[in-house]
Structure 1
Amino acid sequence: MDPLLDLESGTNHELSKPVPGVWRVPTTDLCCIYRVPNCLRRVSPESYTPQSVLIGPLHYSLKLQALKSRGDITNARLVDYLNMEEHKKFYLAEFAKRPEGKNIIDGFKRVIKEDEAVIRASYLESTAWIKTPKFVEMILHDSVFILEFMLRRSVEAATEKTGDPLIDEPCLAQEINRDLILLENQIPFFILEKLFDPTVSKLREKTFHQLTIKHFEFQDEKGSDAKFRHFTDLLRRVRVETVPDHAFERCYESMYQMYSADKLDGGGIKFEAVENPLSVLVTFEKGVLKIPKFLADDDAEITIRNIMALEQCHYPFNSHVSDYIMFLDFLIDTKEDVSLLVEKGNIFILN
C-alpha cells in the first residue's frame, strides 16, 4: 500500500488509516453537512472558502496548517485563521468569567462527549482521523466562539471601543457572519441548542434559536420559527417557507428552455416585483409574471451558492432555491434583460 502522511505527526501510515476527505458510507438521516462538490467549487471557489474563521471538522486540517504557520506572515489567509484560533481562546476565557462559567464549560465538555457520535454522523466526511480529545476541544472552542460572538453582537451598538476587534471593526464582523453561513463551516444546530439554551435564557431571556434568528435578522420572516439543521439550512428555510404547501403537492414538468425577459416583455408579458427579497415563489396569472425582488449585493452570491450546494447534496428532490435561480438564469440572457428587470424593480443592485 502507498503510505500517507499524517497531518499532525508527520509519520507514514497505511491507506486504511482514517484521513481527511473520506466519505462515511452509507450515510444516515443525521448527515446534513457536506464538503462542496468540486463541480460547484471550481466555478467560484472563494464563495465556499472561509475568509477568517474556521468552524467544525471539515476545515480542521486548515486549522492545523495555520497553527504550524505561526510567525510566517507571507500567507495573509493563514494569518487570519491563526488570529481567529487565538480569538476563540479569548472568547472561551471571557465566557469562563461569567457566573458559574468554569462549571458551565465543564458541563459543555460532558455534553459534547456524550453526543460525539451524533455530531460526527452529521458530516458526510468521516471525522475519525480527529481523536476524541481534539474533537471535543474543537467543538467546544468553535461553539463558544459562535455563542460569545452572537451575544456580543446582540447588545446595543457601543459608543466607544470595547477592545474586541470583532465588535469594534464592522468589516470584521461582516466577514465573520459570511463565514458562519458557509456550508462547509457548520456545526449541527442541535448541539448548539443543547449547549446554550440554558445559558442564553439566563443572560438574555431568549432561547438560542431566538438569538440566532435575531443575529441573522430573520425575526419577522416566515419560517423563522421552523427547525433547521445548521445556519446554511436556516438561510434556505426562510426562503423555502415562502412557498405555500399546496405548491409542493402539484406535479410540474421540468423546464429546459424559456424566453428571456426582454423577449417576454416584447410579447406582451407584464412584470411585477414582489417585495419580499427572500421569497422564491414565482407566479404567472392573467399575463402578469410576479417575481420576488432579487437583491444583488456583495453577499448575495455567497449566500445563494452555499444554499444551492446544500440543496444539491441534501435536498436534491426539493431544490426550490436552485430552481428559482435557474428560472432567473433563463430570464437573463443579455444586458437588455438585466436592464428590463432592474427597471421593473425585480432586481435591485447594490454596488
Structure 2
Amino acid sequence: MNFNQPREMYPGMWRYPMNPDLCCIYRVPNRLREVNPEPYTPQIVLIGPLHHSVKSQALKALYLGDDITYTKSMAYLDMEEHKKTYLAEFAARIEGETTIDELRRMIKEEEETIRASYQESTAWIQSSEFVEMVLHDSVFIIEFILRFSGVVEKKGDPLLAGLSLGITVYHDLILLENQLPFFILDKLFNPIVRRIWPHLTFRDLIISFFGFQGKIGRNSKFRHFTDLTRCVRVETLPNLDVWKSKPIEHMYNAEKLDSGGVKFKAVGNDLSLCVSFKNGCLKIPCLTVDDSLEMKLRNIMALEQCHYPNNAHVCSYALFLDYLIDTDKDVDLLLEKGNSFILIYISINIKFVQPAKVAQMVNKLVTGIVDPGSYYYDIAGEVNEYYRNPVNRSKAILKRVYFGNPWTGTATIAAMFLLVMTLIQTWASIVQVKQNEP
C-alpha cells in the first residue's frame, strides 16, 4: 500500500468532508456487524461501490487456481456475467445501444451526486469504471424486477428457473451496503416505464415489487431500497412529531406482565410498529418470524444508527421487544395470548421453530444498538405502573388460581354456589329456631 496517496484512494476509507444532504448509504458499523455479519452480507449479487473491490478479489482467487465453487465468490462472479446478459437483452428490447448510451450519459452527469451518496470515498474507482458499474447494476435491478414480476419472459434464465436464487437476489437488494441511490434509478428508468405503462411510474413498480402497495404515502420520500423498507414501518406510527426522546430504562418481560394481570392482543400486520396500552391490554402488531426477519430488521436498524440516530424508531421497537421477550417462556406466552398469534412461524428452517431460538434472536438483535430515546417510553412506563399495582396483581392471581381453565373455573363456581347455599341453609335454620322459641 502506498501511503503517499490520498486516503480516499483506498477502498473503505471515509469520504471527508461528507455532504449530509446527499449521504445516505453506509457501511454497517463494526459494533453491529461483529454480532452477526451474515445478515449484512450479500449472498449472491453485489450492487454499488461498497463491495466493488470484492469482485476483483474473487477474480484473483479464480486466476490463482483456488477452488471457489462453493463460495460466495463464485456466486458473485456468476452474477457479474449475468449482469452483462441482462444488459444485452435489455438493450435489444429497449431501442438498442442508443438507449444504453443515453443511460451512460445520464449516469455520467450525476456521477458526483451518486458518489456523494456514500459515506465512504469512491475515489479509488475511476470514472469510466464507476459509470459502467452503475449502468450494469441499475439495468440488472430493473431487468430482474421485470422478470421476477413476470412482466418480461424469464424462460431459460437460470436465476429464475427455481425459487431459491430469485428470493436470494430479492433479499440482497435490501441490504444497506448493497444499494444504489434511488434518484438515479428513477431518473434512468421512469421515462422507460412510463412509455410502456403510461399510468405507472418507476416508483410504483418498485413499491409493487416489494409488496408495499397501499402501505406508503404517495408523497413519501425514500433514498434507496433499505430506506423504503424502513419508511413503510415508520409511517405506521402516529404522532411522530410529539414523541418523547427518552430511553427506556426498564420494562418487565411478558411472563411477569402476564402474572401482573396485563393482557396481550395482536393487532395490525408485521410491518406495523404501533404499540398501545389501555385498560390493562397491551396491543402489539403481529410479528412474522421467518428466515429473513433478522436480515431485514438488522439492515434497517443499521441505517437508523447511521442516518436517523434521533429517529431510530425501528431500533426502539426492537429494544421494546427485547424487554418483552427474555426467554422461550415469553415467546410461548405471546403465542398463546390475544385473539391471534403475536408471533407467526412461516419458516421451514428448524432454527426458528424453537421458541428459545426466537428469544435468542430478539435478544441479540439489539446488541450494539445505541438508544438516545424511545418512541415507546411512555408505554413502558404505563405497563410497569400497571404491573406494580397490587390490586391488579391480586386480581390476576385470583383469576389464574381459581379461573385458570374451564375445569377450575367450573369447580370454583360450583364451590361458591355450594357455599352460598350452605350459608342460606344455615341462615334459614337459625331463623326457624328463632321463630320456634317461646
SS of the residue corresponding to residue 125 of structure 2 reads coil
- Aligned partner of 2:420 in structure 1 is none
- Aligned partner of 1:152 in structure 2 is 147
- Aligned partner of 2:344 in structure 1 is 348
User: Which range is displaced more, 223-232 or 316-325?
Assistant: 223-232
Shift of the 180–224 alpha-carbon distance from structure 1 to 2, 3 Å rule, reads: farther
Shift of the 70–199 alpha-carbon distance from structure 1 to 2, 3 Å rule, reads: farther
- Aligned partner of 2:317 in structure 1 is 324
User: Which range is displaced more, 338-347 or 113-122?
Assistant: 338-347
Spell out, residue by residue over 1:197-233, the C-alpha distance to the aligned partner (whole angstroms, 9 max, x if none).
Answer: 0111223442111110111111131347521000000
Whether 1:96 and 2:88 are equivalent positions in the alignment is no
Letter in 2 for 1:47: P
Letter in 1 for 2:176: L
Letter in 2 for 1:53: V
- Aligned partner of 1:219 in structure 2 is 213
Whether 1:106 and 2:101 are equivalent positions in the alignment is yes
SS of the residue corresponding to residue 171 of structure 2 reads helix
Q: Any gaps of 5 or more consecutive residues in structure 2? A: 348-438
The answer (yes or no) to whether the contact 2:45–2:169 under 8 Å persists in 1 is: yes
User: Which range is displaced more, 82-91 or 205-214?
Assistant: 205-214
**Normalising by structure 2, what TM-score?**
0.74
Partner Cα separation in structure 2 for residue 99 and residue 222 of structure 1: 30
Residues 35-54 of structure 1 aligned to structure 2 (within 5 Å): 35-54=27-46
Partner Cα separation in structure 2 for residue 265 and residue 235 of structure 1: 32
Q: Any gaps of 5 or more consecutive residues in structure 1? A: 5-11
Spell out, residue by residue over 1:11-39, the C-alpha distance to the aligned partner (whole angstroms, 9 max, x if none).
Answer: x5634251011111232110000000000
Shift of the 175–225 alpha-carbon distance from structure 1 to 2, 3 Å rule, reads: farther
Whether 1:14 and 2:4 are equivalent positions in the alignment is yes
SS of the residue corresponding to residue 238 of structure 1 reads helix
Shift of the 225–269 alpha-carbon distance from structure 1 to 2, 3 Å rule, reads: same
SS of the residue corresponding to residue 135 of structure 1 reads helix
Equivalent residue in structure 2 for 1:24, among 5, 11, 15: 15
SS of the residue corresponding to residue 321 of structure 2 reads helix
Whether 1:120 and 2:123 are equivalent positions in the alignment is no
Aligned residues: 338
Cα distance, 1:123 vs structure 2 = 0.1
Residues 1-351 of structure 1 aligned to structure 2 (within 5 Å): 4=1, 12=2, 14-16=4-6, 18-28=9-19, 29-70=21-62, 72-74=66-68, 76-155=71-150, 162-205=155-198, 206-223=200-217, 226-244=220-238, 246-344=239-337, 345-351=341-347
User: Which range is displaced more, 45-54 or 212-221?
Assistant: 212-221
Shift of the 299–224 alpha-carbon distance from structure 1 to 2, 3 Å rule, reads: farther
Give the share of equivalent positions with the same residue, in percent.
57
User: Which range is displaced more, 96-105 or 83-92?
Assistant: 96-105
Cα distance, 1:73 vs structure 2 = 3.4
Cα distance, 1:323 vs structure 2 = 0.2
Letter in 2 for 1:348: I
Partner Cα separation in structure 1 for residue 48 and residue 190 of structure 2: 20
The answer (yes or no) to whether the contact 2:61–2:68 under 8 Å persists in 1 is: no
Cα distance, 1:266 vs structure 2 = 0.7
User: Which range is displaced more, 273-282 or 187-196?
Assistant: 273-282
Letter in 2 for 1:222: I
SS of the residue corresponding to residue 160 of structure 2 reads helix
The answer (yes or no) to whether the contact 2:216–2:231 under 8 Å persists in 1 is: no
Spell out, residue by residue over 1:109-164, the C-alpha distance to the aligned partner (whole angstroms, 9 max, x if none).
Answer: 00000000000000000000001000000000000000100111222698xx7110
Cα distance, 1:335 vs structure 2 = 1.2
SS of the residue corresponding to residue 308 of structure 1 reads helix
Partner Cα separation in structure 1 for residue 88 and residue 118 of structure 2: 28
User: Which range is displaced more, 148-157 or 129-138?
Assistant: 148-157
Give 1 or 2 for the bigger CA radius of gyration: 2
The answer (yes or no) to whether the contact 1:73–1:79 under 8 Å persists in 2 is: no
Partner Cα separation in structure 2 for residue 73 and residue 224 of structure 1: 49
Give me the CA root mean square deviation: 1.7
Spell out, residue by residue over 1:34-60, the C-alpha distance to the aligned partner (whole angstroms, 9 max, x if none).
Answer: 000000001110100000000000001
Cα distance, 1:324 vs structure 2 = 0.3
Partner Cα separation in structure 1 for residue 270 and residue 219 of structure 2: 18
**Normalising by structure 1, what TM-score?**
0.92
Partner Cα separation in structure 2 for residue 197 and residue 13 of structure 1: 43
Partner Cα separation in structure 2 for residue 62 and residue 236 of structure 1: 27
Partner Cα separation in structure 1 for residue 336 and residue 259 of structure 2: 15
Letter in 2 for 1:56: G
SS of the residue corresponding to residue 89 of structure 1 reads helix
